[in-house]
Structure 1
Amino acid sequence: MNIGLDPESTHSILEKIANKFIDLLMPLIKERLEQDELMTREELSKKILRCDPDTADKRYLSKPGFPYMQPSKRKIYSKKAVQKWIAENQIYN
């Protein structure tokens, strides 16, 4: 059975399908390509939480479930994990 699509119509259909795949895949590709930044307590306080380290300790870093890694004596913080924690722990009125 011949559908009878001319090359131009076939190209147009394939282009629409390809664009749909690109729209769906680009956010996933971007996320995988972005490098995570590991930060010290001081960097996290300044860059993300925008407060001094002591305030960050009291308001955020001491909260149960706040993400950190401790490969040595000092804790380090994943920027992506902290941003996710912030998004998941918003308080709304």
Structure 2
Amino acid sequence: MAKSTLPQRPRTVAEAVDRLLEEFDERQKAEVALTFKTALYLLHFSLGSHIRKTFGLWAPDSPLRRDCGRASGRDDLPPDEASDVIVEALWDRLQHYRDFNTRL
């Protein structure tokens, strides 16, 4: 039986952020980093949609979705809220871009 060439879906928030960082170029990383935290909701229909589809958050038994729930202190989250947890974790991880750009 042939092995699948598709990458395995991330199972944790940290793995999802790692995968997004591999996909993004430097400009995309800076754009997320420089978004005000209070404006992250604006990414819901673009980046959030990508996350929900690509990482399988619509599946009720998604390990990633369960990890998003744990990260937010809840047992389970709907896919929309789970993707928000990942977007915020990505934003947190990218804050070194904000620090760099404020020094320029």
Same fold, TM-score > 0.5, yes or no:
no
Bigger share in strand: 1
Mark the structure with the bigger radius of gyration: 1
TM-score of the pair, normalised by structure 1 = 0.28
TM-score of the pair, normalised by structure 2 = 0.26
Bigger share in helix: 2
